[in-house]
Amino acid sequence: MKTERYDIIIVGGGPAGMTAGIYAARARMKTLLIESISVMGQAMMTEMIENYPGVREVSGFALLETVKTQARSFGLEIRQDTVVTVKKLDGMLWQIGSETARYKTETVIIATGARAKKLQVPGEEKFTGKGVSYCGTCDGAFFKEKQIAVIGGGDTAVEEALFLTKFGKQVTIIHRRDRLRAAKILQERAERHKKIKFIFDSIVEEIKGAGTVDKIVIKNVKTGKKQDLACDGVFIFAGWEANTGFLKNVVELSDKNGIITDEEMKTSARGIFAAGDCRKKSLHQVITACGDGAVAAYAAGQYVDEVKGVLYK
């Protein structure tokens, strides 16, 4: 298997990775971005983004396609593949192993994003794809005039609940706390919407059905009382966990598997940087991911210049 050589390899094709690609390519670094076709990022699944400066409303897919075209115009090379290993070689080089190829590089930018957390309740795995979903934009159309339950109370949960009202007969938001955590403007829209109702202080204990979902068992966390809620679809937005499983023993991770970085996006491993939602961070937004990507690319470019100075002086 031929091993190709790059200055910078970016792993991940979301807002952080693509922004890093723009900055690295503009700096005339030989840069490869590897994006997975098996993992759909959060931005790609977002039906409408309205808080990206300068753009009133745009779908996540449309925004990313625009950024990808922009990155390619500067010479960024993009390949679809799945990275499975990151290995330190002798000297100052890293080896990236994918499902189809091997690469050598002075530096790596990890921008693999995060995936939806599962509830880990009975019936969740059994009915995934049969009424259980983690993406309203992907699957909402299958539930036209159906009863839909949305689990979660953050921005993503409320945004997706609002989107699902385009299809469902009724959308019930179930949240373990006594109030939503979403931005106030989203809360206000949800509270005004005639198709949305709320069940607070409650968790899902089980998902049931005969072939497909037909109800969920809900438990009130304050009283302990349980009830069945009839529904055809369960959309779960219980948070996110970083896509960093292939990096164990490579870089330092937080207790929630987010990559720990400094303000320059440097990780504990010299030559590896991280950007976007795979990092340990407090605000998971497209704009913060883009900022991370820009910083990571700049710092990585400086590191490449340093390495080349050592290797070729």
pLDDT per residue rounded down to tens, the chain (313 residues): 567 899 999 999 999 999 999 999 999 999 999 998 766 677 776 777 888 899 888 888 899 999 999 999 999 999 999 999 999 998 789 999 998 899 999 999 999 999 888 999 999 999 998 999 988 878 899 999 999 999 999 998 999 999 999 999 999 999 999 999 999 999 999 999 999 999 999 999 999 999 999 999 999 999 999 999 999 999 999 888 899 999 989 999 998 899 999 999 999 999 999 999 999 988 888 999 999 999 999 999 999 998 877 555 4
Which residue range forms the structural domain that includes residue 111?
A: 3-115+240-312
Structural domain ending residue among the three candidates 197, 219, 236: 236
> What letter represents residue 206's amino acid?
E
- Give the pLDDT score at 313: 45
Query: Cα–Cα distances in Å, from 256 out to 15, 220, 259, 286?
Result: 22, 27, 9, 20
User: How far is the C-alpha of 4 from the C-alpha of 111, rounded, in Å?
Assistant: 20
Beta bridge partners of 20: none
- The count of C-alpha atoms lying within 13 angstroms of the C-alpha of 104, restricted to the half-sphere facing its C-beta, is 10
Element containing residue 7 per DSSP (H, E): strand 3-11
Structural domain ending residue among the three candidates 203, 236, 269: 236
- Give the pLDDT score at 2: 66
Query: Cα–Cα distances in Å, from 241 out to 67, 146, 226, 238, 262?
Result: 24, 29, 29, 10, 20
Q: Are 252 and 268 in contact (CB under 8 A)?
A: yes
- Write the CATH number for 142: 3.50.50.60
- Give the pLDDT score at 51: 85
Are 124 and 206 members of one domain?
yes
Are 200 and 294 members of one domain?
no
The residues assigned a catalytic role are: 135, 138-139
Segments in the chain forming alpha helices (H): 15-26, 42-45, 60-73, 136-139, 155-164, 184-192, 286-312
Alpha-carbon dihedral sign for residues 223, 224, 227, 232: positive
What's the pTM? 0.83
